[in-house]
Structure 1
Amino acid sequence: MALLKAKTESGMVEGLYSGNPEITVFKGIPYAAPPVGQLRWMPPQPAEPWDGVYQAYLFKDIPAQAEERHPFYSKEFYKCRKPMSEDCLYLNIWTPAASDNDRLPVMFFIHGGGFKSGYSHEITFDGDALAQQGVLLVTIEYRLGSLGYLAHQSLRGENGSCGNYGLLDQIAALKWVRRNIAAFGGDPERITVFGQSAGAMSVENLVTSPLCQGDISGAIMQSAGGYTGQRVCGVSMLTQAEGEALGAKFLTFLGCDTIDEARKLAVEELVERERSFIEDIHLGLIFSPIVDGWSQIRSCAEAVKTYQYADIPYMIGATGDENGAFHCLPPEDPQAFRQSVEARFGTDAQAFLQLIGFWEDPEAAVWAGGWNDMLKPGVFAWADHAAEKADRRPTYLYHFTRELPGDNAGAYHSSELWYVFQTLSRCWRELSGVDYDLSRAMVRYWANFAKYGSPNGDGLPVWTPYTASHRQSMELGAHIGMSDFCGSPRVRFIVDRILSE
């Protein structure tokens, strides 16, 4: 039977069996002090110790955030929304360990949500399936939106950091796991960080941050991150000066003259005003990690280009139709799309428009782009770029192709989460045997990667690393096996521009 109690640096904690007496889940363990009052927009501080036994029986309130309005994702993932709070720096642990001497590998998961939404115990996330494979799962909360990523000149003078509080939360949680996970039967020297969407971008922040050197043994990036280049793909990181200028504009929008005034705003008012601010300036991921000179010395794109990231095994991939979940939204205006292409590709813009059939059917060309254009190229470019350094640890590339039944979203952005955590029974869709077979294989691949630095194991199709002489990806769908697919012609066009920058 799995252990029920563990001694942490702050005191004893007690969990509950997850429903399986071979697995214990510890919910809502504080890894830092509540970031409220004067600690709003400050680096995370140590959690206060406690007397007695902390009963880690319930998930905590989700991080303060504006309610998700996207019609697809509101239906797909957010039906079990919890109360929210600014007091959010907690983590959850699923462990199959029978004692604190087991030293099992650890998987440290960072949820997505565009750095502005999401939480650690969404309906898709659960640790039972991974724990049954002999690994510990840790899921974490971190500050979101302006609470997590507001930069301002006065904040720089106040604490030496500026704008990356959500990232510093992630780092603090990782450090806490390094110091305490042995008490839960985990191995602090075998921690694989993984995340999806903004969580994958966060993983890239961690493996490029000087604050995490030596803390991570492997990394998995799902549907984001990778090598995005400086201008043609992904989300560009703001410089500190750009972040501070945006922060000053936001404070003015709030009607506040100083950070102290903004700290006195009710959190509910702050997140709703943030939503209005984002809608007013028509920008997406404006509150996200910046190059602050401390936790991020350089942009992720620059760090990857110069191989300034942890030399550890990587697994990286994308879904077949990242843009599928957005088919329910109005398409981008073709004229605006053409202008954005010209801004991204310069003299190569006409060749791209010709390739995607823009002149024949502008609307279809726009529909096929979106997040497929923004997220996929970085994934495939990472694999190609990493392959140029044969002396580095391996990269394993995948392509998730299972088109989920129930609508026309296909293998949409985030759809693989149901399979990675084997939570298919929670999905509203009528999934079948092929889905359960795929999920069982993916759970084993992910767990094996955490155990061995390779996804391979008995009874699974062999997954070969991506190298200069062997450029293949693992197809994860109705068919599971190696494929020559490394991106559509449209995606490869963008990849080629990234690699030539």
Structure 2
Amino acid sequence: MLQQICLAMLFLVVCNGNASNPTVTVDQGQIIGKRLQFRAQDTDFDVDAYLGIPYAEAPVGPLRFKPPVPKEWQGELNAHEYGNSCPQPAWPDLHWFTLGKTSEDCLILNVYVPVPVRPNRAVLLWIHGGAYSMGAGSFEDFETYPIASLGDVILVSINYRLGVFGFLATGDEVVPGNMGMLDQLEAMKWVQKNIKAFGGDPNRVTIFGESAGSSSVSLHTLSPLSKGLFSGAIMQSGVATSTWAVLEDKTHIPKGAFGIGKLVGCEKEDTKQLVDCLVDVPTDDLLNASQRMMEVFPEDPEAFPFAPVYDDHFIPDRPDTLIKKRSFNHVNIMAGYNADEGTTEFAFFYPDAIEKPHINVTEYESYMAASKLNLTPLQNDALELVYFDNDMLTDPNPNYFDAYVRILQDYSFACSTDTYLRGAAEADAGSVYAYYFNHHPSKSIINTPWSGACHADDLVFFGIHFTPNDFNLTDVEVEMTLKMIQYWTNFAKTGNPNIGTENEEASSPAAKLLEWPQFTLDKRMYKELSPSMNNIPDPSGISCKLWNDYFPKLDAALADKQQECKSHWSKEGKESCSGEATP
């Protein structure tokens, strides 16, 4: 009889056939999962896992480069195994990563439910990072399902199309682009429709992500198509205004599509002929060609063309314009970045270095040129004033490593996050919270002793060391994990990282958390994510004032002077300020 026991409440139907085969009934039929177990702080936790659930049809054949089509199925679905990861290049040799099988039939999601099952739990929906070209929602040895039990929430992780398959665009209506973003949107719709059956509350869904997953989350907070699909958004190292988040120059978008066409034998005259040809190219050929783009076009913007574009549909305008217009969906927001985001680049250049690399002036100038910041001489002088210390100005052979890392971090992460947070606070669309992760883990993502709190190191503190892997953190770091999970899951439950229930006092002793103040325009406070969990003022305030306020004013002033000069010499009938003859 026990095998037939079902818990039914409202629209919730959860039937546990036995401990290893939990079953959920949705409109289309039964989903059969499996039970997972992990141990934390001398306690065993059970999680019902439903893996590899398809939310959209396989985007192959005529569906390649098209918006996702909801998956139709009936009967019984075995959800015991991870689904396919989406096609992607081979990852670097990272000690924690096992990708598994890849296929274009990869539009799946995973649902993790704490045991015992009960109704109306808040939901965290994870959007993975990987430069829009790599990664997966879940894979072995890098699981975050302890969040579900430790935070008493339901966790959902999703796959979406990557690289050329998810973000090819032709600059017109043939392939407007953003298929990967529309995949995320379709997965969010699936959650709204089905999460109640797993015990989830569709009115309390918080989407969260890291890196490209973070900028994806940010784009959903601005997209009119995402309105009403989630109540909270957490951005970890990336926002819609990050320099790498969106391809904003529409003139270069079709170059990427035609460039890939040349490499696979689809050199056509117009975009429709091009796409009709690309649809039939084998998966591996298309993937390999997309990897060669940077080799074939090293100096052209089409070398890295596969990212979101503003398409007048999902992204109706430039992200900075949307923020200025206060075009935010009404959701609660948390966003932040890591203290040493820029060291990741060097970690791959110097994988065997025991000490911080020494970057001389020639190498520094080479890195700056490669970064394509396009700075004027006056802007470069300003950078030296802000980022160079006294030792660098007097040392005959200074190390430019720290200066370059800080420039890269502020330009690519910190200052765009500052712009986004200020815009969200000004729009008053919901509560806003900011964080600054500055703890160097005893075992980091890239396993480098000098990388500090580098890009993606925050992921170590979401419970992955409670599952089988080699992240053996200290007791202090385990405590830090529990606090971070509590902040994140409290935010999912109430929109406030300090409290987990509406009638709970923010200062409750049971919480064991230091209060996290809201980010406001007059008090731009950040939570320091470290063992101390202090509250600090904006950690990049001065440098971001340089990037966000001073540089635009300097550009405007120089442009005005140039126009004034040209106007003067034009009236005189002589050469312009640039030395060119005037008409």
Counterpart residue number, 2:436: 399
* 1:93-104 map, 5 Å: 93-96=111-114, 102-104=119-121
Counterpart residue number, 2:305: 286
Q: Choose 334-343 or 145-154, whichever is displaced more.
A: 334-343
Question: How far, CA to CA, are the matches of 1:367 and 1:227 in structure 2?
Answer: 20
Question: How far, CA to CA, are the matches of 2:198 and 2:376 in structure 1?
Answer: 50
Pick one of 327, 341, 350 that aligns with 1:308: 327
Q: Any idea what SS the aligned residue of 1:315 has?
A: strand
Bigger Rg, structure 1 or 2: 2
1:485 CA displacement: 4.0
Question: Deviation digits for residues 57-90 of structure 1, max 9, x if unmatched?
Answer: 0001211011123xxxx32442x22011111000
1:253 CA displacement: 2.6
Pick one of 153, 162, 176 that aligns with 1:144: 162
Opposite residue 350 of structure 1, the aligned amino acid is D
Question: How far, CA to CA, are the matches of 1:498 and 1:26 in structure 2?
Answer: 50
Counterpart residue number, 1:450: 492
**1:15 to 2:53 alignment:** no
* 1:69-218 map, 5 Å: 69=92, 74-78=93-97, 80-96=98-114, 102-122=119-139, 123-152=141-170, 156-157=173-174, 162-218=176-232
CA contact (8 A) 1:5 1:12 kept: yes
Name structure 1 gaps, 5 residues minimum.
Answer: none
**1:39 to 2:63 alignment:** yes
Q: Choose 126-135 or 329-338, whichever is displaced more.
A: 329-338
1:227 CA displacement: 4.3
1:246 CA displacement: 2.2
Q: Any idea what SS the aligned residue of 1:219 has?
A: strand
1:344 CA displacement: 4.5
**1:435 to 2:477 alignment:** yes
CA contact (8 A) 2:59 2:68 kept: yes
1:237 CA displacement: 2.6
Question: How far, CA to CA, are the matches of 1:344 and 1:211 in structure 2?
Answer: 36
**1:54 to 2:98 alignment:** no
Counterpart residue number, 1:376: 414
**1:268 to 2:284 alignment:** yes
Question: Deviation digits for residues 393-441 of structure 1, max 9, x if unmatched?
Answer: 2211111111123511111100111112443665535421111011000
**1:464 to 2:517 alignment:** yes
1:465 CA displacement: 0.2
Counterpart residue number, 2:256: 246
1:224 CA displacement: 0.7
Q: Choose 379-388 or 53-62, whichever is displaced more.
A: 379-388
CA contact (8 A) 2:246 2:310 kept: no
**1:419 to 2:461 alignment:** yes
CA contact (8 A) 1:204 1:300 kept: no
1:345 CA displacement: 6.1
Using the aligned pairs only, state the percent identity.
26
Question: How far, CA to CA, are the matches of 1:461 and 1:176 in structure 2?
Answer: 36
Question: Deviation digits for residues 322-372 of structure 1, max 9, x if unmatched?
Answer: 122222344794334555676256753321233222984473332443345
Q: Choose 139-148 or 490-499, whichever is displaced more.
A: 490-499
- Aligned residue pairs total 485
CA contact (8 A) 2:415 2:547 kept: yes
1:243 CA displacement: 1.8
Change (3 A) 1:411 1:438: same
Change (3 A) 1:147 1:119: same
Question: How far, CA to CA, are the matches of 1:201 and 1:285 in structure 2?
Answer: 17
Change (3 A) 1:102 1:307: same
Counterpart residue number, 2:90: 67
Ranked by relative contact order (alpha carbons within 8 Å, sequence separation 6 or more), the top structure is: 1
Q: Choose 121-130 or 399-408, whichever is displaced more.
A: 121-130
CA contact (8 A) 1:63 1:119 kept: yes
Counterpart residue number, 2:533: 480
Change (3 A) 1:367 1:473: closer
CA contact (8 A) 2:114 2:149 kept: yes
Change (3 A) 1:28 1:6: same
Counterpart residue number, 1:28: 52
Question: Deviation digits for residues 80-135 of structure 1, max 9, x if unmatched?
Answer: 22011111000000012656x71111111100000000011143332233333221
Change (3 A) 1:39 1:399: same
Question: How far, CA to CA, are the matches of 1:253 and 1:226 in structure 2?
Answer: 31
Opposite residue 209 of structure 1, the aligned amino acid is S
Q: Choose 256-265 or 470-479, whichever is displaced more.
A: 256-265
Q: Choose 8-17 or 419-428, whichever is displaced more.
A: 419-428
Pick one of 365, 382, 392 that aligns with 1:335: 365
Question: How far, CA to CA, are the matches of 1:427 and 1:403 in structure 2?
Answer: 19
Question: Deviation digits for residues 261-288 of structure 1, max 9, x if unmatched?
Answer: 2222221121111101133323675201
Pick one of 269, 283, 297 that aligns with 2:316: 297
Opposite residue 460 of structure 2, the aligned amino acid is W
- Structure 2-normalised TM-score? 0.77
1:296 CA displacement: 1.2
1:183 CA displacement: 0.8
- Structure 1-normalised TM-score? 0.89
Counterpart residue number, 1:408: 450
Change (3 A) 1:408 1:368: same
Change (3 A) 1:140 1:429: closer
Q: Choose 137-146 or 326-335, whichever is displaced more.
A: 326-335
CA contact (8 A) 1:377 1:491 kept: yes
Change (3 A) 1:152 1:134: same
Counterpart residue number, 1:385: 423
